[in-house]
Structure 1
Amino acid sequence: MRKLILALVALFLLIIIGISGTALYEAHRFLNTPPEMPGREVTVIIEPGTTFDAVSRMLAEQNLVTDANYFAMYGKWEKAAGSIQAGEFVMNTSWTPSKVLDTLLRGKPIMYKLALREGLTWWETAAVIENTGYANATEIKDLVHDPELLDKYDIPFDSAEGFLFPDTYLLTRKESQDPRFIVELLLKTFWKNAEKVWPDGKPDAETLKKVVILASVVEKETGVPEERGTIAGVFAKRLERRMPLQADPTIIYGLGTAFDGNITRRHLEDSGNPYNTYRHGGLPPGPICSPGLDALLAAANPEDHDYLYFVSKGDGSHQFSTNLRQHNNAVRKYQLKR
């Protein structure tokens, strides 16, 4: 009887060893054998909040791993189940599970570029976002004028004009399809850069208004970085002396999308345009575009000089003058002869 019991125990142990050996072999083969050779690229989208088991099933369906259950166990063994990234990833069916998992944990998701140059109006910004395929311009318009959003980001105007900070942004697929995320990102970036303009903290509302409005006018008046401080100084001097700014870009902004590319005498004499700085003294009622950091710095710290006028030389730069006689001579030299 004792011999029979020992034989049964030995047989049971052999069965257990056989099963374990098979499992070890299957696990080894799973970890070291790519699903396909040669492989092919597959784009995988991991939505935020997706469970690791669900990700494992999706990877198996796309033949990026050979077994969903094994991959789920592998992730738990590596204590990675709660650490995978959300985003869009390019993988290959020739990869082993370890490379697939490493991509989910540390790989760079596909990023979509949104390039916004300095000097765009809010509707031009909305058009760029729409033309890039990220969001509808109407959705952007609604957000730009959303009172709750304006209050949230301490914007003292009835729109976010001037605060949609120009920069090159990299967005994930989900971010690029969320208009609120995009607008809030631009506003957050404005305040992040504002720390360089006001390192001691946010300015009061009146200072903020003046600087952003002036910076927007400076941004539209010149594309030459080294001139921004000088032009800001011209406008500061004119404001100090209660002279009209006489800035063409403000008139253009007031005309909005109706502007056809030509400023006429009728436009210059139109007092019904609140942005007509030929007819209305002081700064215009609001920003006329989104200024970049250099324009903001120039507006916050305008150069101290005696210039009151400037005229384009035709090459992007300007001739500055201290009096009207000099200015008229410069106009004849650089404008009338052309």
Structure 2
Amino acid sequence: MTQEKPENEKPLNDGPVTGSVSETADASSTGDSHAAQNQKPQTPRRKRRPLLWLVVFVLVVCLGAGTWAWRDARNFLDTPPQEPGKSLIVDIEPGMTLAQVAAMLEKEGVITDAWRFQMLVRYKEKSRNIQAGRFLVSTGWLPETVLDMLVSGKAMLYRLTIREGLAWWDVAELVEEGGFCRAADFTSVIHDPEFLRHWGIPFDSAEGFLYPETYLLPRPRELNRDAAKAVANRLVEMFWRRADKLWPNGKRPSTEELKRLVTLASIVEKETSVPEERARVAGVYANRLEKNMLLQADPTVIYGLGRDFEGPLLRSQLDNANNRYNTYQNPGLPPGPICSFGASALRAAISPEKHDYLYFVATGRDRGHTFSKNLNDHNRAVRDYRAALRENRK
């Protein structure tokens, strides 16, 4: 029996099923796909926490280390090795490295830690400023005070006085007695051709160029040739510093003129200790040289006899022509200077007094001299001198 279908009911097999319902479903599906593509995957919160804790831990460690380092540095800088401290002497030798200086200071108890002291020096950028020398320091000083002392160059200095008129061997004895170097080393240095060439000294020794002055010098830890060279350099450097102020027109003389001036100045220095007479004495020798007369200067003969001479001068010594410095026998100036001389003697040699005197002799009554223009007057002055000596013996 065939059943009637409702009018509005369509067969299930009537073509494909189309309609808004299917389209809506497709659009919804497409939209969800795009949203899924645009949305980043979210990290679970549980995975973020270990990284956060790691960052916090590192920050805490760094802060703690920085605090510890700051406190450690302040403790080093603000705490002296001893309270109260004691004074002691330390030597900074030329050529010592910063590490060697710091190690020595720690060993002597001047600082508490060599490594920290090196860090301080580098932080202050003073590595190249530490001076060599002997320093008086204290174990009660803070590290920065110690560094300031070493950088200031205020080493312990000792007095060395070289008076006018000394020969080089006398100077050698003085520097040894003062603890600055050995006399033998000093002697070697001032005769060294390389040393002489460096300083422009045209003789076979530095005689005459060891300037008489009072010096303040450090005493080296080791007495060797380097120590002797340091002293000799200081003395010769002082000569040129003083002499350069006296040369005419401010220009150094030629080699031959230099030889003449320093040799004459040394003779003037030995002949009189009266400053007012030096230009006059220089004038006497200038006149004798001009007239080709023998200088007949006793101090040159004595110098040629060497350090063992004890005086008085004998006739045989005055007649000995083998003594190169014997100006009674050999014409002209001696081979070189005979002593260390001061500025006034050099000034006199540069500008001798213009006069007609050819002779002079001591008065025997004071430090002065009697000057004569001829031999008769000179012989009379010599007799007066001898008479004065006899009176003085009474």
Q: Could you tell me the TM-score, scaled by structure 1's length?
A: 0.89
State how many pairs are aligned.
338
How far does the alpha carbon of each residue in 1:30-66 deviate from its partner, in whole angstroms, 9 at most, with x for none? 2212111111012222223333333333222222222
The one-letter code matched in structure 2 to 1:69 is W
Whether 1:294 aligns to 2:332 is: no
Compute the displacement of 1:94 (Å): 0.9
Structure whose CA Rg is larger: 2
> What residue number does 2:79 align with?
33
Compute the displacement of 1:227 (Å): 1.0
What percent of counterpart residues are identical? Answer: 49
Q: 1:304 to 1:75 in 2, by over 3 A?
A: same
> What residue number does 2:363 align with?
313
Q: Could you tell me the TM-score, scaled by structure 2's length?
A: 0.77
Equivalent-residue separation in structure 1 for 2:94 and 2:310 (angstroms): 46
The answer to whether the Cα contact below 8 Å between 2:182 and 2:223 also exists between their aligned partners in 1 is no
Q: 1:316 to 1:15 in 2, by over 3 A?
A: same
Equivalent-residue separation in structure 1 for 2:110 and 2:142 (angstroms): 8
Q: 1:21 to 1:117 in 2, by over 3 A?
A: same
The answer to whether the Cα contact below 8 Å between 1:112 and 1:176 also exists between their aligned partners in 2 is no
How far does the alpha carbon of each residue in 1:194-235 deviate from its partner, in whole angstroms, 9 at most, with x for none? 312324422222212211111111110011111111110111
Whether 1:184 aligns to 2:233 is: yes
SS of equivalent residue, structure 2 residue 245: helix
Compute the displacement of 1:73 (Å): 2.1
The one-letter code matched in structure 2 to 1:189 is M
Whether 1:336 aligns to 2:391 is: no
Compute the displacement of 1:246 (Å): 1.8
> What residue number does 1:204 align with?
254
Whether 1:88 aligns to 2:88 is: no
Equivalent-residue separation in structure 2 for 1:254 and 1:176 (angstroms): 30
SS of equivalent residue, structure 2 residue 260: helix
Equivalent-residue separation in structure 2 for 1:235 and 1:125 (angstroms): 27
Q: 1:157 to 1:34 in 2, by over 3 A?
A: closer
How far does the alpha carbon of each residue in 1:145-175 deviate from its partner, in whole angstroms, 9 at most, with x for none? 3233333333333333222222223333349
The answer to whether the Cα contact below 8 Å between 1:222 and 1:316 also exists between their aligned partners in 2 is yes
CA RMSD between the two structures: 2.5
The one-letter code matched in structure 1 to 2:236 is L
Equivalent-residue separation in structure 2 for 1:76 and 1:147 (angstroms): 41
Equivalent-residue separation in structure 1 for 2:158 and 2:388 (angstroms): 47
Compute the displacement of 1:306 (Å): 2.0
Structure-to-structure mapping, 1:1-338, within 5 angstroms:
1=46, 13-174=59-220, 177=224, 178-198=227-247, 199-314=249-364, 315-338=366-389
Q: 1:36 to 1:134 in 2, by over 3 A?
A: same
Gaps of 5+ in 1: none
The one-letter code matched in structure 1 to 2:283 is G
Higher relative contact order (CA 8 A, sep 6+): 1
The answer to whether the Cα contact below 8 Å between 1:176 and 1:182 also exists between their aligned partners in 2 is no
The answer to whether the Cα contact below 8 Å between 1:312 and 1:335 also exists between their aligned partners in 2 is no
The one-letter code matched in structure 1 to 2:161 is A
Gaps of 5+ in 2: 1-45, 390-394
